[in-house]
Structure 1
């Protein structure tokens, strides 16, 4: 399975934020931002922080794609 954070990046653009602003608002380290940029798994706590920033559910930020 693969993870895709395109929904997160769409929300960032829609809210006219920069990735650095998102990291600061959610209290996320550069390392975690790098993992998000590479569509790598991150801790659930990170996803919850992002949900709080956008007042949304995890499914609004990411999707899991089944690979064949």
Structure 2
């Protein structure tokens, strides 16, 4: 094992609320686009539409959990 290893960098501070917001919005936009394009909506039995809808719903749930964790 090499002895001249560099120390690990410090962890990055990430704004989790912003990451969840962006992901939720992207899933919501994808759900709207898929719902508006009939060929995409019918593709694969509607699985892509439900994936996008549930992704947005889980993002909203994530926001609620973050709000609950910060509640006094």
Instruction: Report if TM-score (shorter chain) is over 0.5.
Output: no
- Kindly indicate whether structure 1 or structure 2 has the higher relative contact order, using CA contacts under 8 Å at least 6 residues apart: 1
Which of the pair is proportionally richer in helix? 2
Decide which structure has the larger Cα Rg and report it. 2
Q: Given the two structures, how large is their TM-score scaled by the length of structure 1?
A: 0.26
Q: Given the two structures, how large is their TM-score scaled by the length of structure 2?
A: 0.24
